[in-house]
Amino acid sequence: GDSRSSARTSADLVAYKNVNDLPPPRDLMIQIDQKNEAVILPIYGSMVPFHVATVRTVSSQSDTNRNCYIRIIFNVPGTPFNPHDANSLKYQGAIYLKEVSFRSKDPRHISEVVQQIKTLRRQVMARESERAERAT
Indicate whether 61 belongs to the interface with another protein (CB under 8 A).
no
Separation between Cα atoms, residue 104 and residue 121, nearest integer Å: 22
CA 4, 116, 2 angle in degrees (round to 5)? 10
Contact criterion met (CB below 8 Å) for 32 and 70? no
Question: Among residues 44, 51, 55, which one has the least CA distance to residue 15?
Answer: 51
Indicate whether 83 belongs to the interface with another protein (CB under 8 A).
no
Indicate whether 60 belongs to the interface with another protein (CB under 8 A).
no
Select from 58-66, 84-92, 114-122, 127-135 the region that touches another protein (CB under 8 A): 84-92
Indicate whether 65 belongs to the interface with another protein (CB under 8 A).
no
- Return the residue of 2, 7, 62, 88 that touches another protein, per CB under 8 A: 88
SS3 11: helix
CA 73, 31, 81 angle in degrees (round to 5)? 25
Name which of 88 and 133 has its Cβ closer to another protein: 88
Please report how close the Cβ of residue 136 comes to another protein at its closest, in angstroms. 25
Select from 57-65, 68-76, 115-123, 124-132 the region that touches another protein (CB under 8 A): 68-76
Separation between Cα atoms, residue 39 and residue 30, nearest integer Å: 7
Residue ranges binding another protein (CB under 8 A): 10, 13-25, 27-30, 38, 41-51, 54, 69-70, 74-78, 87-88, 91-106, 109-110
